[in-house]
Amino acid sequence: MADIINLLPENIANQIAAGEVIQRPASAVKELLENAVDAGATEIRLFVNDAGKALVQVIDNGKGMSETDARMSFERHATSKIKNIDDLFHIKTMGFRGEALASIAGVAQVELKTKKSGESIGTYIEIENSLVKTQEPVATNEGTNISMKNLFFNVPARRNFLKSNASELRHIVDEFIRVAMAFPDLFFSLSSNGQEVFHLEKGSLKQRIIQILGNNYSAKLVSVKEETDYMNIYGFAGKPETAKKTRGDQYFFVNNRFIKSAYLNHAVMNAFSEMIAKDSFPMYTLFIDIDPSRLDINVHPTKQEIKFEDEKIIYAFVQSAVKHALAQYSVTPTLDFELDASIQHTDAVSKPFTTEKQFSATGTSLYKTFTQKNQAHFIDSKSDLGKWDDNLLKQNQFVTAKRDLPGETKFDNENAFFSPFKNTTPPLVNKKPDSEEYIQAHKSFILAQNGSGFVVIHQQNAHERVLYERFTEAMKGKPIAIQRSLFPEAIELTPADAVLLLELLPDLHILGYLVEPFGNNSFVIQGSPADVPEGNEKNSLEKILEQYKHFNMDMSFSKREKLLRSMAWQQSVKAGTYLSGKEMQVLVEELFNCKINNTTPNGKPVFLEFKKEELDKMFGR
């Protein structure tokens, strides 16, 4: 039989390999910005057109490349940053794999202009589909100017997978922020379709955080700073009152590299526990500096996942450093700093230290705080969701649903797919209260009698369900009426939020919000749904965005679904609000007209039922 194995041509091999590094325009943004940082640039400008689909261009004033290096830079495994395998464990640069430019050149049209400092002439290279089309001398500024055009022009299937411009731009902004946040002493700008979205002057980390996340944080940051021989940690955490519904503003950098780590995030959350409401997320921007030999950053091609030599010790440091910072700023005056001798037996602390070092390390406040019992290595294995399930089970002991009652429709589990909770409450069909007298308890619950007993309805959950179904109908062609504002309010957002809001405008319009972009990340609210009280439009819109970002973490929802849920939540009448008899009656009536009335869109129960016969039994009758 003939041999069947071929070696793939280089450009095809590059296209395949590019898939890991370059998934979307934002991946190229990350790689090109990191190259500029590695080149020692102090000013880095990013330009994108069409959310990077047409153009991603980075201009830096870094050290530039020689003619030969410029050509070499597009070869796979060509790097100036490491020479041998040992170097891999002493990495100080962002790049080291030598494959970013090769990948980009494999899936786009690239133009590079670069000149080394002191040279009179630079080099121009045009390369597409891994093939060099032009290479010639060029007059250019010192540094590098690289453009990636028409990403995936030669891989249409990939190009089709790209999301809407608004969504791709959001990814770009995320990557831009991650690099810009890590290097506050460098100038960064981002322009999209010729309009400057970010202009970040050099400054301190605190200034950079405020430039990016907004002025709201200016008096609300707590400085985190601890130094030991093992590692340093520094940065800022938001005071507890700034915690938001979304975890968007949380950044971890290890040796200046943005990383994603649920584990370290947990450490910070633990430090904040009891200080912030459940389901809310504190802002933090934390930098860990650690000997690179204690890390493996080559776990994933995008380098956003890393492995620590000893994760637990890092967890303990992070948690106690944050806790200590919060305590120092007397955010938590009652913290108890009890010492625990067991820390001295932790390998990572005791082994690399001389006695002298150990002595000085034990003097630091960090050492003292992270030795607190039950905190250093303690991870709550029982998630909140688990507790929820337990609660539901307990509640349902009272419900004792009898599914075989005549006339009872079968449990419609449509929502269970979205629900993290077990959907165990039977629907309220045929349980409609037969009396129109409703009692409101604790300004949160509506008590109503029905044929078989009585029901306790959670007013907010019920309203969320009603609104959700109303909005879903609106999307099917019955837009919510817009009430024009007499005095339109302006709303100013962070660049990232502005991009997000732009993406949502058409759907928001159907749902009753008439919002117009006003340039410079501001918008004007021209109209809002009739139920939103006059003067409250701005606040409601901000809350919707906040909640939307919260849902954004869950990729299983469509954009529209997330918006519907956010709005239903935002506009629902909150627990603690007095309802008149008439209002209760309307709410219960509307709840009955819903297709599903036993759960909120997110799967929380809407009501509990107490059966008369069960109650009788309990009273010995």
Ligand X SMILES: Nc1ncnc2c1ncn2[C@@H]1O[C@H](COP(=O)(O)OP(=O)(O)OP(=O)(O)O)[C@@H](O)[C@H]1O
Residues making contact with Mg ion (CB under 5 A):
35, 95, 100
Closest to 606 in 3D by CA, of 392, 398, 437: 392
Interaction residues for ligand X, span 382-411 (CB under 6 A): none
Task: Give, as ranges, the residues between 187 and 226 that touch ligand X (CB under 6 A).
Answer: none
Chain residues 132-171 in contact with ligand X, contact rule CB under 6 A? 144
Of the two residues 31 and 128, which places its CB atom closer to ligand X in the complex? 31
Question: Count of alpha carbons within 13 Å of 349, Cβ hemisphere only?
Answer: 24
Q: What is the C-alpha to C-alpha distance for residues 324 and 330, in angstroms, rounded to an integer?
A: 10
Which residues fall within 8 angstroms of residue 611, CB to CB, at 6 or more apart?
400, 452, 453
What's the full length of the chain, in residues? Answer: 621
> Judged by CB under 6 A, does residue 73 bind ligand X?
yes
Closer to ligand X by CB, 35 or 371: give it.
35
Report how far residue 121's alpha carbon sits from residue 55's, in angstroms, rounded to the nearest whole number: 25
- Residue given tokens 């045929």 in the structure block: 430
Q: Which one, 35 or 320, has the nearer CB to Mg ion?
A: 35
Q: Residue 469 binds which one of ligand X, Mg ion, none, with CB within 5 to 8 A depending on kind?
A: none
Stretch that binds ligand X, among 89-97, 240-248, 327-335, 426-434 (CB under 6 A): 89-97
Span near ligand X by CB under 6 A; candidates 94-102, 385-393, 464-472, 595-603: 94-102
- State yes or no: residue 461 binds ligand X (CB under 6 A): no
Q: Which is nearer to ligand X, 74 or 421 (CB)?
A: 74
Query: Does 106 contact ligand X by CB under 6 A?
Result: no
Q: Report what 540 binds from Mg ion, ligand X, none; CB cut-off 5-8 Å by kind.
A: none
- Residue 65 in contact with residue 116, Cβ under 8 Å? yes
Which value, to the nearest 10 degrees, does the dihedral of the CA atoms of residues 529, 530, 534, 535 take?
-10
Answer yes or no whether residue 97 interacts with ligand X by CB under 6 A. yes
Instruction: Output the smallest distance, CB 34 to Mg ion, in A.
Output: 5
User: CB 59 → ligand X: shortest distance, Å?
Assistant: 9
**If 0-12 CB within 10 Å is exposed, 13-18 middle and 19+ buried, where does residue 509 land?**
middle
Q: Which of 18, 27, 96, 529 binds ligand X (CB under 6 A)?
A: 96
Give least dist CB 79 to Mg ion, A: 8
Distance CA 545, CA 551 (A): 10
3-class DSSP string for 339-374: CCHHHHHCHHHHCCCCHHHHHHHHCCHHHHHHCCCC
Nearer to ligand X, 99 or 226 (CB): 99
> Considering the complex, what minimum distance in angstroms separates the CB of residue 95 from Mg ion?
3
On whether the CB atoms of residues 419 and 603 are closer than 8 A, the answer is: yes
Question: Can you tell me whether residue 212 is helix, strand or coil?
Answer: helix
Cβ proximity of 521 and 192 under 8 Å? no
3-state helix, strand, coil in the chain (%, to 5): 40, 20, 40
Q: Tell me how crowded residue 37 is: count the other CB atoms within 10 A of its CB.
A: 23
- The count of other CB atoms within 10 Å of the CB of residue 71 is 17
Contact partner, 604, from ligand X, Mg ion, none, Cβ < 5-8 Å per class = none
Nearer to ligand X, 18 or 496 (CB): 18
Q: Are strands 514-517 and 522-529 parallel, antiparallel or unpaired?
A: antiparallel
Which residue type, as a one-letter code, is found at position 580?
S
Work out how close the CB of 181 gets to ligand X at its nearest, in angstroms, rounded to a whole number: 19
Looking at the Cβ atoms of 102 and 209, the one nearer to ligand X is: 102
Per the CB < 8 A criterion, the answer to whether 228 and 364 are in contact is yes
Q: Is there binding between residue 100 and ligand X (CB under 6 A)?
A: yes
By Cβ distance, which residue is nearest to Mg ion?
95
Give the number of residues in contact with ligand X, rule: CB under 6 A: 24
Could you say whether residue 377 binds ligand X (CB under 6 A)? no
Smaller CB separation from ligand X, 100 or 283: 100
The first and second tokens of residue 33, run together, are 């910005």
Using CB under 6 A, which of 25, 52, 62, 238 touches ligand X? 62
Question: Which CB sits closer to Mg ion, 26 or 343?
Answer: 26
Give one DSSP letter per residue of 133-186, joined into a string. EEEEEE---SEEEEEEESTTTT-HHHHHH---HHHHHHHHHHHHHHHHHH-TTS
Q: How far is the CB of 35 from Mg ion (least distance, A)?
A: 4
Nearer to ligand X, 17 or 54 (CB): 17
Q: Is 283 in the site for ligand X (CB under 6 A)?
A: no
Q: How far apart are CA 45 and CA 33, in angstroms?
A: 9
The pair of three-digit structure tokens given for residue 264, joined into one six-digit string: 């370290």
Assess 60 for contact with ligand X (CB under 6 A): yes
User: Choosing among ligand X, Mg ion, none, which partner's interface includes residue 60 (Cβ < 5 to 8 Å by kind)?
Assistant: ligand X
Specify the residue, 101 or 504, whose C-beta has the smaller distance to ligand X: 101
Euclidean distance between CA atoms 543 and 549, whole angstroms:
10
Between residue 20 and residue 59, which ones bind ligand X under the rule CB under 6 A? 31, 35-36, 38-39
**Positions that interact with ligand X (CB under 6 A):** 31, 35-36, 38-39, 60, 62-65, 73, 78-81, 95-102, 144
